[in-house]
Structure formats: C-alpha cells, structure tokens
Amino acid sequence: MIAVFKREFRSYFTTPVGYAVMAILLFFSGLYFTQYNLEGHSTSLMGVYANLFSIVVLVVLPILTMRAFSEEKRQRTDQALFTAPVSLTGIVMGKFLAAMALFALALSVTFVYAIVIATQVTPDWAVIIANYLGMLLMAGLVVAAGLLFSSFTESQFVAAIITFAFSFMLMMIDTLAQLTAATPWLSEAISFMSVQTRYTGFTQGMIHYDNVFFFLSMQALFLFLTVRVLDTKRWN
C-alpha cells in the first residue's frame, strides 16, 4: 500500500492534475476570504468554508480522482498493478490516501487565513478545526466514490463526468427532500442522506459523532465496492 501511495502521490506532480487541484482550491478560497473577511470585515471563516463546499465537490474532487484507475486501463498498466505483490485493498487504499494527502496539502495552505485573522483578533479555533475536519470527511466520501467510477472506464473525462454527476446529486438531496415533503417518511429518508446539511454543521463548529460516522461509513462502502469491481475485472 505504501508503494502505491508514493507512486500515486508522486504522479500528481508529474502531471497537471496536482497543480490544477491546488490552483483551483487556492483561487476560490482566496476569493471567498477576500470577499467575506477582508472586504466584509468579518473575523469568521464560516463563509469561506461554506462556499468552498460546491467548488470542492463539483470541480476539485472530480479532477482529483478522474485518472485513478482509468489512466491505468488506458495505458494497459492495470494488469501489472493487479499482479504486483500487494492486495487489491492495498491498491485502493494507496490511491485513496494519495488523493486525500494531496487534497489535505492544498487545504492546509488556507490555514494562512486563520493566521491573518489571528493578527487582529483571537479566532475561534474550535470552529476552524471543525471546518477542516468536515471538509476532509466530505472530500473522503467523494474521493472514494470517484475511485469507484474511475474503475469503470478508461476515459478520464467520462470518470470525471460521472463523479461530477454524483456530486451534483449529493447537492440536490435537500431539494429532493423538499419536493417529497408530502410523504414524510420518504422526505426524512432522503434528508438522512443530505451531505450538505451534515457538512454545514461542521462549518458552524459542531462535531456530531453521527455525522462523522456517516461520512466514514460511506467512504468504507465505496472503497469496498471499488475493491469488488477490481477483483471482478482481474479475473475477467
């Protein structure tokens, strides 16, 4: 797993993907920080992280995961990877952790905003930590799903589009719940899956264990499905 992690993480910086992810994330986070904090004279970073949600989910993460397995299939290196002395679980986890490490690296640069605010007032560090935790948990869910979709095709573009569609669907869950309000049990079931509502709690500094468990269990589910898909392809 460690070898796969190192190989995958290094590959992000030998292709434009890693730089594109970092540039997009830093551009929009800087834009929101300027708008809400510098020009809006606010000492809270809630506006920055709340608005980053859609950019990260719809743009950054599909780009980050689109080449995970599709590039292996396109270059015909997937069979060599499958026959390497590492389990399929190790391969999937290596790629997952590499993607998350790159995202965490890009996200960590935004900590500069907290330092800037700290020069004027004492920021609410609990809220800031909760924001980072929420962003990482939410990103983990989409990254795990993106790995699954990337394992279906050898086209990076198709993998990115499918991940984008999945992410867009996650963002529309609240709207769907409102449309089914006439059927309370269905509306509640749909609301239970609302990623945006669960993430919003983190932006407000609230860390609920059920939300943490939800994100981790969804990550585990998609990673498990990815392993099963790869196992089927290996024997075919």
Asked if residue 236 is part of any domain, the answer here is no
Predicted local confidence at residue 88, as pLDDT: 86
In which band, very low, low, confident or very high, does the pLDDT at 79 lie, cut at 50, 70 and 90?
low
pTM: 0.90
Report pLDDT digits (tens) over 200-214. 888 888 888 999 999
- Nearest one of 203, 100, 192 to 146, comparing CA atoms: 100
Model confidence pLDDT, tens digit, residues 98-107: 999 999 998 8
Is 213 within a domain? yes
Question: Residue 213 and residue 40: Cα distance in Å, rounded?
Answer: 35
Q: Per the domain annotation, does 217 fall within a domain?
A: yes
Give pLDDT tens digits for 95-144.
999 999 999 998 888 888 888 888 888 878 888 899 899 999 999 999 99
Handedness of CA 65, 66, 70, 75 (dihedral sign): negative
| Residue 56 in domain | yes
Q: Please say whether the beta carbons of 32 and 109 come within 8 A.
A: no
By residue range, what is the domain housing residue 153? 2-231
Which sign, positive or negative, has the C-alpha torsion 191, 192, 195, 197? positive
Of the ranges 5-14, 147-156, 191-200, which one carries the lowest mean pLDDT score? 191-200
Domain count along the chain:
1
Give the separation between CA 218 and CA 228, rounded to whole angstroms: 15
Q: How would DSSP label each residue in the chain?
A: -HHHHHHHHHHTTTSHHHHHHHHHHHHHHHHHHIIIIITTT----HHHHHHHHHHIIIIIHHHHHTTTTHHHHHTT-HHHHHTSSS-HHHHHHHHHHHHHHHHHHHHHTTHHHHHHHHTTS---HHHHHHHHHHHHHHHHHHHHHHHHHHTT-S-HHHHHHHHHHHHHHHHTHHHHHHHTTTSHHHHHHHHHT-HHHHHHHHHTT---HHHHHHHHHHHHHHHHHHHHHHHHHHH-
Question: What band does 146 get if pLDDT is binned at 50, 70 and 90?
Answer: very high
Query: Is residue 166's pLDDT more than 80?
Result: yes
Model confidence pLDDT, tens digit, residues 40-60: 888 888 888 888 888 888 888
Q: How far is CA 13 from CA 28, 58, 61, 109, in A?
A: 21, 22, 16, 17
Categorise residue 93: left if φ over 0, alpha if ψ from -120 to 50, beta otherwise.
alpha
Mean residue pLDDT of the chain comes to 86
Residue 148 reports pLDDT greater than 90: yes
